[in-house]
Chains A and B, each alone.
Chain A
Amino acid sequence: MGRTLAEKVWDDHVVRRAEGEPDLLYIDLHLLHEVTSPQAFDGLRQNGRRVRRLDLTIATEDHNTPTVDIDKPIADPVSRAQLETLRRNCAEFGVRLHPLGDVEQGVVHVVGPQLGLTQPGTTVVCGDSHTSTHGAFGALAFGIGTSQVEHVLATQTLPLARPRTMAITVEGELPDGVTAKDLILAIIARIGTGGGQGYILEYRGPAIEKLSMEARMTICNMSIEAGARAGMIAPDQTTFDYLHGRDHAPEGEDWDAAVAYWKTLRTDDDAVFDAEVIINGAELAPFVTWGTNPGQGAPLSASVPDPASYDDASERLAAEKALEYMGLTAGQPLRDIQVDTVFVGSCTNGRIEDLRSAAAILDGRKVADGVRMLVVPGSVRVSLQAVAEGLDKVFTSSGAEWRHAGCSMCLGMNPDQLAPGERSASTSNRNFEGRQGKGGRTHLVSPQVAAATAVLGHLASPADLSDDAARTPAGV
């Protein structure tokens, strides 16, 4: 019988298989950041262990880093101590580190792919749940806890039980104005935050094949929000083209050998998935969340649902609690929801294409009075590219703030936070209670919806923007 993409990559990394034990899996790439690594390095020290494969390990700083005044010492002493701990640990053990101020610094899931380190058929782990992002390359990539970080540092392997596989086939073509973010939000609303649990998802079908690498990363990034272990997309010419010439992409004969191998990484026609979901891409529309988990979403044209309409008691209760926290009432049109903050950034939507699409909408327009808009590039490289294209000017002249790269308001570990009761339209991935700051309320949206929302001050899509005669786009 044929094998799925996930099974092929899995099988190629089994170091040891024994009856009644989890497989011991080899890890090709281990990404580190400041938040989930200190206790792991401590563990190594306590046991007199070293890092087994420094050449498969890389670290950057992202969660705590400020996005303004980065040349000044970090104001928060606890954040500063954590960054200093990472720097000390990397120096002591010999790990390559891209600290704040370095040109390769950025959100760990933006940095790996742009360096060409994330490649098809590799296993990638990081002490961060959004490691699923790297699955866009046909890599088997998943988030791990700190004990596992220590385990990989010490052994370059992980004992793991093989997950089941689920195909998510997206038929048809996404209509104009519908993005990868809308698609993944719609998928999560359909299968639920626990729907992918125990599975590796494989996104496939014509609508997926058409997507750029960056859009594919947006999709795979949020696999974890459906509860999945990982999300994958089979590598194809789009993948190879993206990788070719990047810093760590193979060269010469190695490139040819790599491509030959990568081309085998497709689910066989006779392979069987443990579960299948089919989505009609042509039926989709801009999608936003109204609740406090990423599965609580609806098309922008819909209204806040009535909790009483849920058959399942725990879903009903969750919806009631969500409306209470979000300060919304059932039946209220989603388009009427006013926001005071717009955040464009994160490992979901902080790459250059995301910034371009937000800028294209803001060009020649103004952020509405009373709305604060933060644009935070996913990495320094993304930032430099945006500046080279003049996108920063578009953002600042529309009234948005252009910031330094990092996680920023995606989780509010640095000073970029919502105040209690503030409401954001955010291109990030989690609308949990307090995620963007204590008492803050988050609506997850695409970069296009974020930009249109910033202009109108309420949740909106670019189609809602009237053609403004006074608009004089600079045309970037």
Chain B
Amino acid sequence: MEAFTAHTGRAVPLRRSNVDTDQIIPAHWLKKVTRDGFEDGLFEAWRKDSDFVLNRPERQGATVLVAGPDFGTGSSREHAVWALQNYGFKTVVSSRFADIFRGNSLKNGLLTVVLPQETVERLQELTEADPTVEITVDLESRQVRAADLTADFELDENARWRLLNGLDDISLTLQNETDISTYESSRPTFKPRTIQV
């Protein structure tokens, strides 16, 4: 996983609540068997509208998505995270994320930042008023900065440490192999098995 320390970039304000993963990447894109090539599927239905914010010339090259509440609800598809990343987003700011989406994003190095709704709206107003405004998301100091706005955000220490160092969860877990084996040796015999081994 790519490490995330701090990122500065222009933003896209997405003033919609409950943006579900079917909107982020529609089901027919899920037939792909790779992790890349999802950028054209991102918000596919909405992008047909030339007025949709992502299509505006001033939003090209933006890397920070400032979204409405309950972003990423619905299906567990990690493709939603890949689509955002493939398109070029490095971080998403919202007042509330769906759990699975948030877990998926942090595993892929897409930083999801939770800020109070009024702060999210202020960020949206800032970038709407001036699309060239840059937003900085600083994981080291756990701070979002834009123009005269400074807001602290929380992220649990463990997730932050893994993101800052770009650590792979599986390698970390495998360092505890003995704990896993010990646990396995005490599992009751009545637990289900899919095959006899």
A residues near B (Cβ < 8 Å) are: 15-16, 20-22, 24, 26, 28-29, 35-36, 38-39, 42-43, 47, 49, 54-58, 63-64, 76, 78-79, 81-82, 85, 96, 116-119, 122, 127-129, 131, 143-148, 150-151, 154-157, 159, 161, 163, 193-194, 197-198, 224, 227, 229, 248-250, 254-255, 257-258, 261, 293, 314-315, 317-318, 321, 411-413, 430, 432-435, 438
Contact = CB atoms under 8 A, between A and B. Distances in A.
A227 B184 CA distance: 32
B174 A227 contact: no
B192 A293 contact: no
Contacts of B99: 163, 197-198, 227, 229
B96 A151 contact: no
**Chain B contact residues: helix, strand, loop or mixed:** loop
19 contacts: A15-B183, A24-B176, A24-B180, A26-B180, A26-B183, A26-B187, A36-B77, A39-B78, A63-B27, A122-B191, A122-B192, A128-B76, A145-B77, A145-B107, A147-B108, A194-B70, A194-B96, A198-B99, A317-B17
Nearest to B36: A39
Given A194-B69, A314-B17, A412-B27, A430 B33 contact: no
Given A161-B156, A229-B99, A434-B22, A151 B170 contact: yes
B27 A49 contact: no
A165 to B, nearest CB: 14
B73 A194 contact: yes
B13 interface: no
B186 to A, nearest CB: 10
A38 B77 CA distance: 12
Contact of B74 (A16, A22, A432): A432
B32 A57 contact: no
B169 A293 contact: no
B73 A293 contact: yes
B17 to A, nearest CB: 4
B195 A127 contact: no
A406 B69 CA distance: 33
The 3 closest A-B pairs by CB, nearest first: A145-B104, A38-B33, A145-B78
A401 B22 CA distance: 27
Contact of A435 (B17, B22, B30): B22
B188 A257 contact: yes
Interface string B76-98: 11110100000000000000101
Contacts of A148: 103-104, 107
Nearest to A58: B194
A128 B183 contact: no
Interface residues of B, number: 60
B56 interface: no
Contacts of A54: 194-195, 197
Contacts of A57: 194
A161 B99 CA distance: 11
B161 to A, nearest CB: 9
A430 B75 CA distance: 9
Interface in B146-197: 156-158, 169-170, 172-174, 176, 179-180, 183-184, 187-197
A76 B32 CA distance: 12
Given A36-B76, A293-B73, A318-B17, A248 B193 contact: yes
A257 B31 CA distance: 43
A38 to B, nearest CB: 4
Contacts of A129: 74-76, 100
B33 A39 contact: yes
A127 B76 contact: yes
B170 A227 contact: no
B176 A147 contact: no
Given A54-B197, A151-B169, A151-B173, A227 B70 contact: yes
B82 to A, nearest CB: 8
